Chain A
Amino acid sequence: MDAVITGLSAGFAVAFQPFNLSLVLIGCFAGTLIGALPGIGPINGVAILLPIAYGLGLPPESALILLAGIYYGAEYGGRISSILLNVPGDAGAVMTTLDGNPLAKRGEAGRALSLSAVASFFGGTFAVVLMSLSGPALASYAVTFSPSDYVALMVFAFASLASLVGSNSVKTLLAAVMGLMLASIGIDANTGVARYTFGIPDILAGIDFLVVVIGLFGMAELIHLVEQQVTGKLKPLALDKSFVSMKDLAFTKWTILRGSVIGFFIGILPGTGASVASAVAYGTEKRVAPNSENFGKGDIRGLAAPESANNAAAGGAMVPMLTLGIPGSGTTAILLGALLLFNVTPGPLMFEQRPEIAWGLIASMYIGNVALLVINLPLVGLFARLLTIPQQYLTPLIAVLAFIGVYSVVSNPHDLYMITLLGVFGWILRKLDFSLAPVILGFVLGGLFEDNLRRALSISGGDWSILVHSGNAIMLYVLAVVVVVVPIWLGRRKKKAAEA
């Protein structure tokens, strides 16, 4: 404990130097902007800006502080286009659209943006606090998660997401299976066999998640907007000056805490990240929160849960990277590369050999979260103004933003056709009362489920009992049963009480 306090205070001394402090602010601001572009999230934001940070010739701790600011900024920025435009800003912000966008459509964009900024702040800070208190212990726990435990985690995830079932459960199932089928395209991760690629090289490595998200959500939304405008159903929004109230915060405090805990623990596991975390947090919240029938129609809890979870997951992902030198996600792999570039070797030795960097980085995460809250709250009004742009300009602008997001990172023009076609498909699904979220969740979770199941069976040599061998797995199966059964039981009891 003493070591933590000494380390942290030394770290804050580094991070509070005016130069480093201004770098945090610049990083947060640039990160927010780049993260707000649909499709460009933390992973690409950091990868793109890394060479610039390196080129500036900054001392290592300053450069890393700048990158951490960008990382967090991009994580915060992802929610903006989700809420305002119904176009997910990045992989972790898909669930944010479900309740965030209905709020904005109802004229409460300011409230949604400010509440989600607070939720993000809480999730992010929660993760940093846990990391500084017990990072190494948590990381050692995270690596004990075996492939069979991941299978159990996926079962739990699907169980909690059963709450997303809409009016027609067969349609929900079909939507999820379509997502799973999309995810099965490409080279099989276990045997290297190409599946459903039909000799097209562009999809050998699978269909890019961002292309699916931007297409199904963003472009479908665009077509939907045009349709509403053509049929005269679209009403212009007045400038909305709503803001988060103390009452909102009091109402969502447990939601935010639950979201942060779920997000953090899923985040520290190598291989699962912000997208899984926010999905599970949303599903669980809908299951356990009282009076949850308005989820998906603009319930602020449905916004607070995924936003606290994805930021907590982003922080959690740093834990195994910093303490063990194991990157658990694409973004942390890039950050690890950045550390190595500056001759800093992450892992247990970093805290001994380069404490100013290790603790300076952690201190800058605290500051970064505060800075983001300070930057984001005043900007809420400005961002909300985006919605007052007349429709004949806003709609083309959405297309332009989506095209920039998809093209600028990978520069493949075929992706531009792909998002348009997926947009048509998404629009048809919406017209036929399918919900799109299960498609995306099937896509995210499907690959993890199949890969880990087959990994577990490779380890056991084909013995299925490996799936229930560990305490972690059994606990998760129990939790899965709980999230499915308890709400049903509660519902029955309520009904009985009403009848009596």
Chain B
Amino acid sequence: MKLFKTAAAAIIVAGLATPAFAAEITKPECIAPAQPGGGFDLTCRVAQTGLQGQFDTPMQVSFMPGGIGAVAINLFNTTRTDDPNAIVAFSSGSLLNIATGKYGQWTENDVRFLATAGADFGAVVVRADSPYEKLSDLMDAVKADVSSVVFGAGGSVGSQDWMKGALLLRAIEQDPKKMRYVAFDGGGESIAALLGGSIQVYMGDVGEMVSHIGTGKLRILGVMSDERLDAPFADIPTVKEQGYDAEWTILRGFYMGKNVSDDAYNAWVEKFKAAYASEEFAKLQKEKGLLPLNLAGAELDESIKQRIANMREIAREAGLIQ
């Protein structure tokens, strides 16, 4: 009973002691809505290192795994809606989850998209000794018999990894539901399965291909960006220039709670814009395997809403949502 009283008293004290959130950024924090070590961790590290020197205290990175980001978005829509200190990492995967309703009631209108950390692009990868020399070889084979090719990637049906394959099939008017698709647990397992011959095509990302370029084991048939990328990917044609209308950008960036004051939001936007202008930031992106795609503030918000609308359309066509 004594314990209970102490506890009750302590809760009240705690409630009183918590300061009302001010509009200033005093303790910058980046929340990676996953376990340490993944893509969200990397995204936060970009903010941590890239914005270094613009804050009095170093930015803290904390982890909030659970529900592929649902736990974090939930928290920022219930308790921390106006926290000016915290930014949360997101990726196009999170946007796709919003589009397909995986986050329940929360949509793109419930957060404020702040800035990007960089981008990555989809890549169509086969083994070096594959009969598919060019993307058109693969696409012709799929057109002739959709069940003759086994695709694989690191995400489930309906994830962005699957989406890349679905977009390819859509470009030649095939039904994505007829694709032979195998879901692995992450890129590493998928590449192993590709090398081992379990799958014939791996729908990967350009960034993770850095360690495989020049090894002579894999061949990238096309990158899913709008334009050709810089070295070391300059020689690889885009899927679009080979005549197939399929593009997939993996956007990495940050959002904030929707009730954050304009002052705080704009202060963050300015800090990101200042970072984008520096050479160190470009170097940092390169180190982290990201390609430059620098958008912040209203510009980003607009671009993202457009993206989500596109995703909804594709998801509906593919039968993922009604």
Contact = CB atoms under 8 A, between A and B. Distances in A.
B211 A345 contact: yes
A410 B64 CA distance: 5
A461 B180 contact: yes
The 3 closest A-B pairs by CB, nearest first: A204-B67, A47-B36, A192-B156
B42 A337 contact: yes
Contacts of A187: 68, 156
B60 to A, nearest CB: 11
A326 B158 contact: no
Nearest to B36: A47
A48 B192 contact: no
Contact of A203 (B66, B196, B198, B288): B66
30 contacts: A43-B37, A44-B36, A47-B35, A47-B37, A143-B193, A144-B196, A146-B193, A147-B182, A187-B68, A187-B156, A190-B156, A192-B156, A202-B71, A204-B67, A205-B67, A324-B191, A325-B215, A328-B192, A330-B35, A333-B37, A333-B186, A334-B37, A340-B287, A340-B289, A409-B36, A412-B65, A451-B185, A458-B180, A458-B182, A461-B180
Nearest to A330: B37
Contact of A189 (B104, B185, B197, B199): B185
B104 A143 contact: no
Contacts of B102: 194, 204
A201 B215 contact: no
A326 B150 contact: no
Interface string B16-36: 000000000000000000011
B290 to A, nearest CB: 11
A412 B193 contact: no
Contact of A192 (B103, B159, B197, B287): B159
B212 interface: yes
Given A270-B188, A461-B147, A192 B157 contact: yes
Interface string A142-181: 1111110000000000000000000000000000000000
A236 interface: no
Nearest to B67: A204
Interface in A250-283: 270-271
B38 to A, nearest CB: 8
B198 A459 contact: yes
B3 to A, nearest CB: 13
Contact of B150 (A324, A343, A347, A459): A459
B71 A143 contact: no
Contacts of B282: none
Contacts of B181: 458
B115 to A, nearest CB: 21
Contact of A191 (B64, B158, B210): B158
A67 B214 CA distance: 27
B183 A190 contact: yes
B45 A51 contact: yes
Interface residues of A, number: 59
A248 interface: no
Contacts of B67: 197, 201-205
Nearest to B45: A51
Interface of B: 35-38, 41-42, 45, 48, 61-68, 70-71, 74, 102-104, 147, 150, 155-159, 162, 180-186, 188-189, 191-193, 195-199, 210-212, 214-215, 217, 287-289
Nearest to B68: A205
A43 to B, nearest CB: 7
A337 B186 CA distance: 14
A105 to B, nearest CB: 30
Q: Which of A44, A140, A459, A461 has the most CB of B within 10 A?
A: A459
Contacts of A346: 211
A341 B287 contact: yes
Contacts of A38: none
Contact of B189 (A192, A270, A340, A341): A270
Contacts of A349: 214-215
B193 A191 contact: no
A194 B37 CA distance: 24
A190 B157 contact: yes
Contact of B62 (A147, A411, A461): A411
Contacts of A146: 193, 196-198
Given A51-B45, A145-B196, A325-B215, A191 B157 contact: yes
Contacts of B37: 43, 46-47, 330, 333-334, 337
B150 A340 contact: no
Interface in A339-381: 340-341, 343, 345-349
Contacts of B74: 201
A410 B158 contact: no
A208 interface: yes
A140 B215 CA distance: 14
A279 B48 CA distance: 40
A471 interface: no
A163 to B, nearest CB: 28
A324 B211 CA distance: 9
A296 interface: no
**Considering residues B36, B71, B180, which has the most beta carbons from chain A within 10 angstroms of its beta carbon?**
B36
Contacts of A458: 150, 180-183
A205 B103 CA distance: 12
A343 B182 contact: no
A461 B45 CA distance: 42
Contact of A205 (B66, B162, B185, B212): B66
A92 interface: no
Contacts of A410: 35, 63-66
Contacts of B198: 146-147, 455, 459
A320 interface: yes
Contacts of A330: 35, 37
A450 to B, nearest CB: 12
